[in-house]
Structure 1
Amino acid sequence: MTIDTTKKIESLIITDQEICTLAMDVIESIRQDFNNVYYKFLGGELKVLWSNQNKFNAKASSSGDLKSPPDHSVTLYYATAIRIYRDGEDLYDFVSSRLNKYSDLFEKLNLGEPSCLFKDLEKEHFVKNFFFSGLTYLFGHEIGHLVQEHSYIRRFFCDSDRNLNASGEASEIEEIEEIEASASSKQLTRRQSLIWHVTELAADHEAITWCLFELVRQAQEEESIKFSQDDWHRLKENTLIFSCAASCVHFRFNGVKAVYPDEFPIGTHPHPMLRIEKNVFQIISGLEFFSTALGINSSKAEISKYINKGVISANIFWIEKYFDKNDLDSGLLMLGGVINNENTKKYMGLIVNEWEIIRECVESIKRYKPFNAGNQDLGLMFFDENFKKEFTK
């Protein structure tokens, strides 16, 4: 996969058509990489379709036949690509001109002055990287569903003998559709909702792992043998932008509806703040791992402060734009506030226990594993023992 941060946008003024062209170029590059590296050796194919429907949506489709070569496709929407780009423009303008009024909050969180967050980033550079990061994360999430065969997992583990597609009808081609996060008419039992939520979080994890490895590869100068401090600075900067983009994508898919945590999984998708927090923990842990592996002296505390500052800024941007301003004063804004909420402690306990059951099946049917460290597939969601003890008391 390639997150191409070298593409040149000639002007800050860019048309919707130009955005769509950029989107198709970067996604086609990723699709070709996946077909050349993985699918052709399995005798299968990954296809990408683009829709003109005016929806913020993405969809993964699979034949669901584990005995045949993988027949996978991802449907993306031009309207989604355009919206991601415009959200990047709006976030940059918000941070540059209006984030300062939250200085007291940033001071309380020991995150420093908010105004300096993007001070070294030109708008063109930020928006370009935000766009490619958000689009690639979205595509990576759909790939996560496909590579882990989530359509099969949902059918196998749910109390239903019929294959549910996005409309709830039986289908030979199994589909997983992201618009369900905000506009689903699908009625799921509590058991089905739990399986849906677990697989959504698992797809997030696969996508984050994938994108972090690509961000590391992109950060290093081609001529250099050793990862330098300049490379590390570039990696941190691009990961900050990636974290902001992924957060905005989750908010955008949730739609303009409540972000408060639930005690039990409801509907098809977890609420965005929980997904954002879990992603940030994974991103920070990933950067800490790379810092050590690449010989860079950067502490977890330093990395956490840097990434948290960016994501909290993106959260403020979204909540101020679409929600009750009182939400800005709640623990839901803070990283650590959602997962430590009493409702979501119960929720996460259910997720952890169910994933322990599902994980073994996913491992057995996953046909390609892009990221292995020894015998561990880094793309598979993982909860350490301390986390398990905290949320499964």
Structure 2
Amino acid sequence: MKMDKEKLKKINEETQLIHKEYVVQIADRVIGRVVDFINQTMYKEIGKTMSFSWADRPYFRAYAHCETPERHHVVISYGLAIELYRDAFVLSKLAHVHFCEPKYAGIFGKLSADREGVLPPGANEHQCKMLMFETTLEWVFFHELAHLAQGHLEIREQRAPTGSVGRVEEMLADGSEPLQGVAALISHVTEIAADVEGFTTYIQYRYLATRGKIPYAVVYMMVCGLTCLFNRFFGQSGDHFDPVPRGSHPNPAARWELLFQTIYGYFLDARVRGRIPDWEYSQEELIAQLTEASTLANMYWRIRYLEERGDLPSFMRVAKVDSPEVRSYLREIVATLDEVTPDIKRLYIFPIRPSLPVFTSAWRERLREA
């Protein structure tokens, strides 16, 4: 059953009333807090400084570069911030007024008094909107920081020189150079590594900035936001998964599959759970609820941008590890990441170990299947 067209039309009309200057002001405060935190803690300890600027562009764009070895810089476009806010606005609205309808009970279960619609317990629609917007924007920044922290510029130039201008472009994958061979493979590996480092560093920032309080709603809405972000990158990629690394970025569906596993694996770690006493979820509950958050975002995306075409959006199925093409691709990714890990550890700018994707023996064995 399709969503009532008048309801969606009304919500879309509301998004046209979003005051862009207001969104930019909020985004500027969010990023300002992050940059201040980095300069006062992480970078101060290693004698470096981080600066930031907005690109006055309507499209999605973010990149990082080194002005000097001691001065790092990140750029994000206004268009990126505005679209993140628009998705947070509409998803939270639909979660409150549409997905709580009886036809979705099989997906979201029985509604409870502490939830507005199917939004996470204890947070209202406005709070969820702001959480989704802020957490996704913050992750984008920390993804860019990860490229700098792990020495990805040096690794790309040393292992596959392309004559680049000395910066890592992100969020504009469709317009990037069509890299081939080793250059494409190294670029894909460093993007996946930056996804993981960006997440773990970001969560540590949240933990310290909020004095150890990471409410469940923060993680739930972050998963919603990142699911939408990678859906946006996926665009019209279609049903075919290319097992050969091409271009500067991996297939966004594959990136999300790997990052999503990292997210719930992180919160299942006993060391993490011990530091966040409010989290009392079992492994089954945690995976079920974060899977629900990703499903909510995929359903939102399907209704809003795909007009509910097809049975299951390509983004949700094209990068599953049961595909021989996906396993072939990941075998190359894992082997190459193993190869460059010593370089990442050597170049890492912080006096701790870098956060890298963890591939278990069982998972590696699964990849060996033809």
Task: Please classify the TM superposition score into its range, dividing by the shorter chain length.
Answer: 0.7 to 0.9
Deviation for aligned residue 1:314: 0.6
Structure 2 counterpart SS, 1:99: coil
Query: Which residue does 2:7 correspond to in 1?
Result: none
- 1:119-158 to 2 correspondence within 5 Å? 120=121, 121-158=123-160
Deviation at 1:318, TM superposition (A): 1.7
Measure the CA separation in 2 of the matches of 1:217 and 1:49.
24
Q: Give secondary structure in 2 for the equivalent of 1:333.
A: helix
Counterpart in the other structure of 1:117: 118
Q: Which amino acid aligns with 1:177?
A: E
Query: CA separation of 1:337/1:44 partners in 2, compared to 1, >3 Å: closer, same or farther?
Result: closer
Q: 1:330 to 1:249 in 2, by over 3 A?
A: closer
Among 180, 199, 210, the residue aligned to 2:172: 180
1:197 and 1:345 map into 2 onto residues whose CA distance is 15
Deviation, 1:85, is 0.6
What TM-score do you get using the length of structure 1 for normalisation? 0.79
- Is the counterpart of residue 268 in structure 1 residue 260 in structure 2? no
| Equivalent position to 1:61, from 59, 65, 72 | 65
Match of 1:32 among 27, 31, 36: 36
Is contact 2:63-2:170 (8 Å) kept?
A: yes
Q: How far 1:347 sits from its partner (Å)?
A: 1.0
Give 3-state SS (helix, strand or coil) of 2:167's partner. Answer: strand
The equivalent of 1:71 in structure 2 is 71
Q: Distance in 1 between matches of 2:98 and 2:240?
A: 25
Structure 2: distance between partners of 1:259 and 1:215: 36
TM-score (norm 2): 0.83
Q: Which aligned runs of 4 or more in structure 1 are off by greater than 6 angstroms?
A: none
Contact 2:348–2:354 (CA under 8 A) maintained in structure 1: no
Counterpart residue number, 2:5: none
Q: Is the 8 A contact 2:244 2:329 kept in 1?
A: yes
**Distance in 2 of aligned mates of 1:332 and 1:124:** 28
Aligned partner letter, 1:316:
M
The percentage of aligned residue pairs carrying the same residue is 22
In the superposition, relative to structure 1, how do residues 97 and 297 fare at CA in structure 2: closer, same or farther (>3 Å)?
Answer: closer
Q: CA deviation at 1:113?
A: 5.3
Sort the Cα spacing of 1:88 and 1:70 in 2 relative to 1 into closer, same or farther, 3 A: same
CA pair 113-267 structure 1, distance change in 2 beyond 3 A: farther
> What is residue 168 of structure 1 aligned with on the other side?
none
What SS does structure 2 have at the residue aligned with 1:329? coil
Q: Distance in 1 between matches of 2:310 and 2:202?
A: 30
SS in 1 for 2:65: strand
Q: State the alpha-carbon separation in 1 of the partners of residues 210 and 257 from structure 2.
A: 24
Q: Check whether the contact 1:91–1:317 (CA below 8 A) recurs between aligned residues.
A: yes
Q: Which residue of 2 aligns with 1:212?
A: 203
Q: 1:362 aligns with which of 333, 338, 344?
A: 344
Distance in 1, matches of 2:312 and 2:229, equals: 22
> What is the match of residue 226 of structure 1?
none
User: What corresponds to 1:224 in structure 2?
Assistant: none
> Which of residues 315, 322, 325 in structure 2 aligns to 1:340?
322
Q: Residues 43 and 70 of structure 1 are in contact (CA less than 8 Å); yes or no, is this contact kept in structure 2?
A: yes
Q: 1:100 to 1:193 in 2, by over 3 A?
A: farther
Take 1:354 and 1:119, find their aligned partners in 2: how far apart are those partners? Answer: 38
1:321 to 282, 300, 304: 304
Number of aligned residue pairs: give it: 346
Task: Please give the secondary structure, in 2, of the residue aligned with 1:38.
Answer: coil
Classify the secondary structure of the residue corresponding to 2:199.
Answer: helix
Q: CA RMSD in A?
A: 2.8
CA shift for structure 1 position 36: 2.2
Q: Could you tell me which of 270, 278, 289 is aligned with 1:306? A: 289
What is the aligned partner in structure 2 of residue 45 from structure 1?
A: 49
Q: Is the 8 A contact 2:74 2:144 kept in 1?
A: yes
8 Å contact kept, 1:284–1:304: yes
Pair 1:61–1:119, CA change in 2 (3 A): closer
Query: Which residue of structure 2 lines up, in the alignment, with residue 167 of structure 1?
Result: none
Paired AA for residue 181 in structure 1 = A
Q: What does the per-residue CA deviation read over 1:274-328, in whole Å, with 9 as the maximum and x for residues that have no partner?
A: 2222121111111112225546543111100000001011112223433474554
